[in-house]
Amino acid sequence: MIIGVSGRNGAGKGAVVEFLAERSFYVFSLSDVVRDELKRQGVDETRERMIEAGRGLRERRGPGALAEGLISQLLPDRNYVIDSIRHPAEVEALRRFSPEFRLVWVDASETRRFERIRQRGRPGDPTDIEALRALEARELSNADVAGQQLLAVEEMADFVVPNEAGFEELHRAVREVFRESLFFERPTWDQYFMSIAQVVASRSNCVKRKVAAVVTRDRRIVSTGYNGTPRGTRNCNEGGCPRCNDLAPGGTGLLDCLCSHGEENAITQASYHGASLRDATLYTTFSPCLQCTKMIINSGLSEVVYNSGYPLGDRSLELLQEAGVKLRKVGPTA
């Protein structure tokens, strides 16, 4: 899950971020991108400089620049809370990155917010209501597309969390957001196993094409395999396979190829470790060649799921169907 947090000054955004951080969410702030820019410029941080530096970054790199600069740091196995979202293009960038992104707007009355601002006493904070209104006039809307546009961000919020009372009420409101929508999606089993096969393929040392297979039974992995030269011989990318290193055209020089295919290695690995493949499913990044097809049939595999078609694979698919092996093609996982 990726939770964005936004709101006006003193609304309690930091309290929401802290609440989620205590529940194992990793915290990022778009303001940190601006702070890094001020450090690069060699100037001290003030509210005015933060506003102007953020505007400058949006002007030079696009209105979604702060979020786009952060996205590369987000990992798929973690939950995140992202603070200081102040422009609709930042919301759009995060939504493009992840369908699991949700924006929470923290809301409180002007009187309550000013009271909190006075209590925290940060340097540069407004000292009266009029000063607060003048500051927020620059943040709420802006004719300059690179300026802050909090009102537009508020309109894009998925959830509004009221924060007029104390922490207990605020925490209760945040919990209600999660009760209403636990908005993460797990991959299907096909996506799960095919994505694993694609990672396995990254281990391939073949010069021409990286291919891998994963054999599963009862939704458990039995074996994996990727294409490359046989155990104990020189790797393909070290000159081990003359066909690959000669960059032979597709379909030619097959008698010179020393590489075992991903499906072949997955099947032989299972045999090496004494695992039966009867009625198992093979996930492969490419549909199998004829040689691997015969091994699939004779090893007792009952289903083949593939991602892309092998260039010379039509006869293989026909033979699998003739042998009663179920055959399915699934789309790319990324």
CA distance 60 to 39: 17
Query: Which pLDDT value is given to residue 7?
Result: 92
Here the tokens at position 233 are: 């011989």
Of 17-31, 121-135, 152-166, 318-332, the range with the lowest mean pLDDT is 121-135
Cβ-count burial 101-116 (b if 16+ within 10 Å, e if not): bbbbbbbbeeebbbeb
Q: Name 255's Cβ contacts closer than 8 Å, sequence gap at least 6.
A: none
% of the chain exceeding 90 in pLDDT: 46
The confidence score (pLDDT) of residue 147 equals: 74
| Number of residues in the chain | 334
Tens digits of per-residue pLDDT, 64-110? 888 998 898 999 889 999 998 989 999 999 999 988 899 999 999 88
DSSP-assigned beta bridge partners for residue 103: 4
pLDDT for residue 20 is more than 60: yes
Which SS3 state, helix, strand or coil, does residue 327 take? strand
Summary mean pLDDT of the chain:
87
The token duo for 93 is 């960038």
Nearest to 104 by CA among 166, 15, 202, 215: 15
Q: What is the mean pLDDT of residues 20-40?
A: 89
| Residues noted as catalytic | 263
Under DSSP, the state recorded for 214 is: E
pLDDT at 244 over 90: no
Summarised one tens digit per residue, pLDDT across range 173-184 is 999 888 876 666
Is the pLDDT at 47 greater than 70, yes or no?
A: yes
Mean pLDDT of 194-198: 95
Instruction: Give the pLDDT of residue 93.
Output: 94
Helix extents (H) in 260-302 = 262-272, 290-298
Instruction: Report the pLDDT value the prediction gives residue 333, as an integer from 0 to 100.
Output: 59
Of 198, 154, 180, 164, the C-alpha closest to 286 is 198
Which of 169, 221, 182 minimizes the C-alpha distance to 200?
Answer: 221
Tokens of 294: 């015969």
Secondary structure element (H or E) that encloses residue 119, with its range: helix 110-120
Contact (CB, 8 A) for 222 and 270 = yes
